Amino acid sequence: MTDTPSITAAQTPPLPFVLTRHPAPKLSFEFFPPHTEAMAVKLWDAVLRLAPLQPRFVSVTYGAGGSTRARTHETVTRVRRETDLEPAAHLTCIGATREEVDGVARRYWESGIRHIVALRGDAPEAAAPYVPHPGGYPYAVDLVRGLKRIADFEISVAAYPETHPEAKSADADLDHLKQKIDAGAVRAITQYFFDVDVYFRFLDRVRAAGITVPIVPGIMPVSNFAQIVRFSATCGTTVPAWLCDLFEGLDDDPETRKLVGATVAAEQCRLLQAQGIDEFHFYTLNRADLAYAISHVLGARPSKGETPKEGNRP
């Protein structure tokens, strides 16, 4: 990686679409557990639609405060039972003692779940400061160590190219990441970002710190721009001016927003591919259409004889 000046994302739009053909990347898709029967149908449709792309794994999130623990378990075990996909369950430190978290982890192992995304987690109330649960795992690094004592899980952890909002400094945040890797995590999945230069500057710092595991870019295809702006303000992701310009005037035009969102995310991934990145993690929001289209642009295709499914009912 060269030490070149960074692009000013607030003023400069992405580079022109890269036309060079690259090998199909490794993919993973993230879903959240359903709250209703209708959402369960939508989720399963999304899983079946993306399954023919043969992702390395699909992950299922954990609600704030552990609020979706049971639904997360139900979803990942259903993926394990009814598909050939490799499921990964999110597990957090929030709202449970070590014994309770360990019990969840053991049940995952007994159900054939071998991959855990280990996270500190967010407080149930967004504005509240994080306070470790009494008797619980204080932070993600402690959770990683605990999981490795239980079984030989494959463990992924989070990374923050623009620094975790609660970190004391960027260096402290990077040190936390290194501790998680040293404790046994085998990959880090980044918070989503929009400026590819942000990712590469972060990757330079990660490698300089001696971290050698894959740092998988987390990609958020944008369909609801106003929602992304609100969420980005809480998680520390910069929304560049050029992105605001692209979605200007589309508040009441969801179909065009989808097309713009797919184009932006595909270009972002192609720019990353052009500099050697061959793995992407898509935050699907339980929608398969954008993730499938972007994956297709990147060269992913269903295996021979398999066609995309429309989904079926639970």
Q: What tens digit of pLDDT does each residue of 220-232 get?
A: 999 999 999 999 9
Q: Let me know if residue 7 belongs to a domain.
A: no
Residues 89 and 137 sit within 8 Å (Cβ to Cβ) = no
Q: Let me know if residue 19 belongs to a domain.
A: no
**Residue ranges in the chain assigned as alpha helix (H):** 37-50, 69-82, 98-110, 140-150, 170-182, 196-208, 225-235, 241-247, 254-274, 288-297
DSSP 217: P
How far, rounded to the nearest angstrom, does the alpha carbon of residue 224 sit from its chain's CA centroid?
Answer: 18
Provide the pLDDT confidence category of residue 35 given band limits of 50, 70 and 90.
confident
DSSP 74-98: HHHHHHHHHSS--EEEEEESTTS-H
Q: Let me know if residue 16 belongs to a domain.
A: no
Token pair for 205: 């710092």
Which pLDDT value is given to residue 72? 87
pLDDT digits (tens, 9 = 90+) for 277-311: 999 999 999 999 999 999 999 999 997 655 555 44
Residues 299 and 21 sit within 8 Å (Cβ to Cβ) = yes
DSSP 281: E
Placement of tokens 């004592």 in the chain = 149
Which pLDDT value is given to residue 268? 97
Which pLDDT value is given to residue 305? 58
Which pLDDT value is given to residue 23? 86
Q: Let me know if residue 48 belongs to a domain.
A: yes
The total of structural domains in the chain comes to 1
User: Region 141-167: what's the mean pLDDT?
Assistant: 97
Q: Is 30 a residue of the active site?
A: yes
pLDDT digits (tens, 9 = 90+) for 86-111: 999 999 999 899 999 999 999 999 99
Provide the pLDDT confidence category of residue 20 given band limits of 50, 70 and 90.
low
Q: Let me know if residue 162 belongs to a domain.
A: yes
Provide the pLDDT confidence category of residue 5 given band limits of 50, 70 and 90.
very low
Residue 102 and residue 89: Cα distance in Å, rounded? 14
Q: Let me know if residue 138 belongs to a domain.
A: yes
pLDDT digits (tens, 9 = 90+) for 55-76: 999 999 976 555 567 788 899 9
Residue 18 pLDDT exceeds 60: no
Residue 12 pLDDT exceeds 90: no
Residue 108: Cβ-neighbour burial (10 angstroms; 0-12, 13-18, 19+): buried
Supply the CATH number for residue 61's domain.
Answer: 3.20.20.220
Residue 291 and residue 221: Cα distance in Å, rounded? 7
Provide the pLDDT confidence category of residue 314 given band limits of 50, 70 and 90.
very low
Residue 191 pLDDT exceeds 60: yes
Q: Let me know if residue 308 belongs to a domain.
A: no
Residue 72 and residue 74: Cα distance in Å, rounded? 5
pLDDT digits (tens, 9 = 90+) for 235-286: 999 999 999 999 999 999 999 999 999 999 999 999 999 999 999 999 999 9
pTM exceeds 0.85, yes or no: yes
Q: Let me know if residue 311 belongs to a domain.
A: no
pLDDT digits (tens, 9 = 90+) for 205-221: 999 999 999 999 999 99
* Domain region containing 66: 26-297
Catalytic residue among 30, 86, 162, 267: 30
Give the three-state DSSP class for 15. Answer: coil
Q: Which long-range contacts (CB under 8 A, 24 or more apart) does 163-169 make?
A: 163/236, 164/236, 165/234, 165/235, 165/236, 166/129, 166/130
